[in-house]
Amino acid sequence: MQGAPSDPAGLHHVPVLADEVLTGLNVQPGGRFIDGTLGGGGHTRLLLQHTRLTRTEAYRNSRADGVAGGQVLGLDVDPAAVHRVRKRFPGEISAGRLSVAQAPFDQIERIARQHGFTGVDGVLLDLGLSSFQLDTPARGFAFRHDGPLDMRFDPSTGSSAAELINDSSREEIADILYQYGEERHSRSIARAIVASRPVSTTVELADIVRRAVRSRSRQNIHPATRTFQALRIAVNDELGQLARAMAQIPALLRPGGRVAIIAFHSLEDRLVKEWMRDNARKFRSDPTLPAGGQEQIPVLALCTRKPIVPAAAEIEENPRSRSAKLRIAEKMPEQ
């Protein structure tokens, strides 16, 4: 996530953990990378900058496809993000250094193959939502702005948050709030939502939650924070998307290529941590082997045992970076 309050058009987002991502992905001139979450194009801009070859390097490495310099393939499921990035980098797109696609990242392998992006040097996922989305009331992500209760990353498909809470049972709503928001007051909030239906705006929902937990909440965050997070995760199937995308990433990396994932809440981070850990100690069944027919074939090597978090100075400059956790792993040589 990133933020630049003086930039309401969202054209110049501040990428989170920028140096850490560049170092972690081992970005070198001539490299080829996939940015699975373009957002405002903040990380993509850095990838383009740091993969650029000098004239001499370009001559020495002269590539069969005539592209001098590294290449980036960027995806975002949000059509507005894709439109913004296309407008931001027309030169790189026409030079063949940047390809952009509007697609959810659980389609990453198909899109990458379509664009010839296999055997890449790195894949980045910077999860969650961009400042542009958060700060646009019409998108319905923020309880601080009044807007329709939408929350879809791609507003052209699926059900909005309003449809979800107006059409689900009290138990289903409580489960969503508990599972995806780790909300202790899930049942009382669900009861209050059902009693106030139909609910159609962000501020209406925020007020319902505030009234439902008023006397019980000891949190120092806004009482609606967890409810909004939970609904956003459910509306966009964020954890399902992440799990399906991660499963495809190793096949896209060259041996030694890296995957970097920035998570913004504990559910995402746990999924990333477990996926990296499981792929760093994968077992293959082989009945010809002794010892129960199991052979260990790790797919990834962990580059970070603990997540990398922003330094105090970054948090001060960009408070939205405060919950970021970056994990990195490297693809092992084929066996």
Ligand X SMILES: C[S@@+](CC[C@H](N)C(=O)[O-])C[C@H]1O[C@@H](n2cnc3c(N)ncnc32)[C@H](O)[C@@H]1O
Interacting residues toward ligand X by CB under 6 A: 1-2, 13, 15, 37, 39-43, 75-78, 81, 104-105, 126, 128-130, 153, 236, 241
- Cis ω on the peptide bond leading into residue 198 (within 30° of 0)? yes
d(CA 63, CA 32): 13
In the complex, least distance from residue 86 CB atom to ligand X, rounded to whole angstroms: 14
In the complex, least distance from residue 13 CB atom to ligand X, rounded to whole angstroms: 4
Residue closer to ligand X, measured from CB, 11 or 58:
11
In the complex, least distance from residue 110 CB atom to ligand X, rounded to whole angstroms: 13
CB 83 within 8 A of CB 46: no
> For the residues of 206-235, what is the DSSP string, one character each?
HHHHHHHHTTT---SS-TTHHHHHHHHHHH
Residue closer to ligand X, measured from CB, 31 or 42:
42
Residue closer to ligand X, measured from CB, 157 or 288:
157
Distances (CA, A) of 321 to 2, 40, 186, 291, 314: 6, 15, 27, 47, 7
Residue closer to ligand X, measured from CB, 2 or 71:
2
- As given in the structure block, the two tokens for residue 61 are 């490495």
Q: What Rg, from alpha-carbon coordinates, does the chain have?
A: 21
Residue closer to ligand X, measured from CB, 70 or 104:
104
Q: What residue number has its CB nearest to ligand X?
A: 39
In the complex, least distance from residue 261 CB atom to ligand X, rounded to whole angstroms: 11
